[in-house]
Chain A
């Protein structure tokens, strides 16, 4: 009972003072809401970035991956010799090893004839290095000359491929080379590429006439069932040349993610934006609490003269901060929910809003308001009844 009263009364006074001046309350809520939406969006973009950056590797079907040590990320690989990949077959635990060819190339929109760059993946249609059924099912068609599969989740600027295919308009150009779209699959866009196309290794060489089979971008290795990926990785590391990285599946994903988070400034930018949102919100809430204390100085001094102790006013300030955090967070959350949906539909990037992120942002808002309260309570010193009366 006692601790409830300990917080209940100051909280009630804080609440009554907050709702008394509606205009100011709305302004205060808008301040927190603003910070809340800012943090939500920054975190959303950042996570979308990470999720989409790893979208291509996530769909790769392999146990170990070979990449040149100079490759910063999958979308801008440094090529290495196919023979280097084939050496892994000397290890008895290795079942298969297939190369993956990557290239950015302009794709011509069938309707508008405008060109836009997308990512072209070339692979051996005898292999199953993608965990995408739509690609596996179309491997026979890909063996034909000049055929490609188109990623349905590409940005709409590439044209409504599904309708076009239904209308038999399936001929276009990639890298000024004429190809036929024979089917669709679903992968998703990333910060590196607005769209994706998958084709056979032979067709890939036709599209990129300067490329050859011997220079590969990524090696996908499959092990015999029961083999330990880390053991084979260690064994291969001693057998292969030093210029290649051997990654497990998880390592490849985190390598990609780290690139976007650290090497590319994008991770920093969104992290910075998040912190700025926090700081802006802090300043706003601090200003509100500060002027609130200044305005209520007289009343606080009166209460002090009546026998209220200093701690009571500290609790009033923190209760105000808490109410502002909650009142600003609720509309901020709802608005962000809408903005996430809008961003998803406009940018074709996954923007999930899991419960974890909601609590993270709420904790952010709470800490922000708490910090603002901590800064503002210094102002309580001014409420000295001896100086006022």
Chain B
């Protein structure tokens, strides 16, 4: 198995000078292709910060963060933009574009890729929505969908680009138990089919069972469970 995410001695802190607030301390972790890893931990333990660094959204300066063989430490914006295109992001809130229909929202992931035709884009987006069980809601706008449905649209949006990695930040936080469970099971099932790595941050203990591995982060330090 190949290593998709390889983090070594990552240190990260907010602020500067005497106000420096370390968030991540000497974090080392490597995640293989197709693995599903859950990161749990109390609020303020640095989970989301860690995720944004892996996702190329936040610049870290110390240690080594290799994602898909790209070094993120002190990297250019260009490199990170390229990497982001191979990463599917699922947010705490669904973060769908409210002026677009479900189909158009999912298509947004594919519009970065100029190689596809408009028709191929629509077809692939529609297939993905059917796969998440929203085949009858293609032309609904987010306002017309329930919370669980919206999160499923955002799962479809993350997966449709066939990313190598899915990063999910508390994807079940705004959902009730049942739809939360449905959403992550769906995610797991679709990811397993395509050998996609999933890194999922949560403190929802109800969904721990989907993980291959659970990592606990406390005060910026990793505690393997």
Residues of A within 8 A of B (CB): 2, 5, 9, 13, 16-17, 19-21, 298-299, 302-310, 385-386, 389
Residue of A nearest to B141 (CB): A20
Chain A residues near B69: list those with CB within 8 A. none
Chain A residues near B83: list those with CB within 8 A. 307
Which residues 71-124 in B have Cβ within 8 Å of A in the complex? 77, 81-87, 89, 91-93, 95, 97-100, 104, 108-109, 111-112, 114
Chain B residues near A2: list those with CB within 8 A. 114
Q: Are B52 and A386 in contact (CB under 8 A)?
A: yes
Q: Are B58 and A307 in contact (CB under 8 A)?
A: no
Most chain B CB neighbours (cut-off 10 Å) among A20, A299, A302: A302
Q: From the candidates A13, A16, A307, name the one contacting B84 in the complex (CB within 8 A).
A: A307
* Distance in angstroms between the alpha carbons of A9 and B111 in the assembled complex: 7
User: Do A307 and B85 contact each other (CB < 8 Å), given the known contacts A16-B104, A385-B57?
Assistant: yes
Chain B residues near A386: list those with CB within 8 A. 52, 57-58
Shortest distance between the CB of B112 and any CB in chain A (Å): 5
Q: Are A385 and B52 in contact (CB under 8 A)?
A: yes
Q: Are A306 and B48 in contact (CB under 8 A)?
A: no
Residue of B nearest to A295 (CB): B98
* Distance in angstroms between the alpha carbons of A16 and B100 in the assembled complex: 7
A-contact 0/1 string along B188-221, CB 8 Å cutoff: 0000000000000000000000000000000000
For the complex of A and B, list the 10 residue pairs with the smallest distance between their C-beta atoms, beginning with the closest.
Answer: A20-B99, A307-B85, A307-B84, A386-B58, A302-B95, A386-B57, A385-B57, A17-B99, A305-B89, A299-B97
Q: Are A389 and B169 in contact (CB under 8 A)?
A: yes
Chain A residues near B109: list those with CB within 8 A. 306
11 pairs from A and B in contact (CB 8 Å cutoff) = A16-B99, A21-B99, A304-B84, A306-B85, A306-B112, A306-B157, A307-B87, A307-B112, A310-B77, A389-B48, A389-B52
Chain A residues near B87: list those with CB within 8 A. 307
B34: interface (CB < 8 Å): no
Chain A residues near B82: list those with CB within 8 A. 307
* Distance in angstroms between the alpha carbons of A169 and B209 in the assembled complex: 106
* Distance in angstroms between the alpha carbons of A302 and B87 in the assembled complex: 12
Q: Are B99 and A302 in contact (CB under 8 A)?
A: no
Shortest distance between the CB of B72 and any CB in chain A (Å): 13
* Distance in angstroms between the alpha carbons of A386 and B81 in the assembled complex: 13
B55: interface (CB < 8 Å): yes
Residue of B nearest to A301 (CB): B95
Most chain A CB neighbours (cut-off 10 Å) among B48, B57, B85, B104: B57
Chain B residues near A298: list those with CB within 8 A. 93, 95
Question: A17-B99, A299-B97, A306-B85 given. 13 additional CB < 8 A pairs?
Answer: A13-B97, A13-B100, A298-B95, A302-B89, A303-B97, A304-B57, A305-B84, A305-B89, A307-B81, A309-B81, A385-B52, A385-B57, A389-B52
User: Do A308 and B48 contact each other (CB < 8 Å), given the known contacts A16-B99, A16-B100, A389-B169?
Assistant: no
Chain B residues near A9: list those with CB within 8 A. 111
* Distance in angstroms between the alpha carbons of A299 and B108 in the assembled complex: 11
Q: From the candidates B52, B93, B99, B108, name the one contacting A306 in the complex (CB within 8 A).
A: B108
Residue of B nearest to A4 (CB): B114
Q: Are A299 and B85 in contact (CB under 8 A)?
A: no
* Distance in angstroms between the alpha carbons of A79 and B169 in the assembled complex: 89
* Distance in angstroms between the alpha carbons of A296 and B45 in the assembled complex: 29
Chain B residues near A307: list those with CB within 8 A. 81-87, 112
Q: Are B85 and A302 in contact (CB under 8 A)?
A: no
* Distance in angstroms between the alpha carbons of A389 and B154 in the assembled complex: 15
Chain A residues near B85: list those with CB within 8 A. 306-307
Q: Are B52 and A299 in contact (CB under 8 A)?
A: no
Residue of A nearest to B48 (CB): A389
* Distance in angstroms between the alpha carbons of A309 and B84 in the assembled complex: 10
Shortest distance between the CB of A246 and any CB in chain B (Å): 68
Shortest distance between the CB of A382 and any CB in chain B (Å): 14
Shortest distance between the CB of B48 and any CB in chain A (Å): 7
Chain B residues near A303: list those with CB within 8 A. 97, 108
Q: Are B114 and A5 in contact (CB under 8 A)?
A: yes
Q: Are B114 and A305 in contact (CB under 8 A)?
A: no
Residue of A nearest to B169 (CB): A389
Residue of B nearest to A305 (CB): B89
Residue of B nearest to A20 (CB): B99
* Distance in angstroms between the alpha carbons of A5 and B112 in the assembled complex: 10
Chain B residues near A389: list those with CB within 8 A. 48, 52, 57, 91-92, 169
Residue of B nearest to A15 (CB): B99
Q: From the candidates A19, A20, A305, name the one contacting B57 in the complex (CB within 8 A).
A: A305
Shortest distance between the CB of A280 and any CB in chain B (Å): 28
Chain A residues near B58: list those with CB within 8 A. 386
* Distance in angstroms between the alpha carbons of A13 and B111 in the assembled complex: 11
Most chain B CB neighbours (cut-off 10 Å) among A20, A21, A385, A389: A389
Q: Are B91 and A20 in contact (CB under 8 A)?
A: no
Shortest distance between the CB of B111 and any CB in chain A (Å): 5
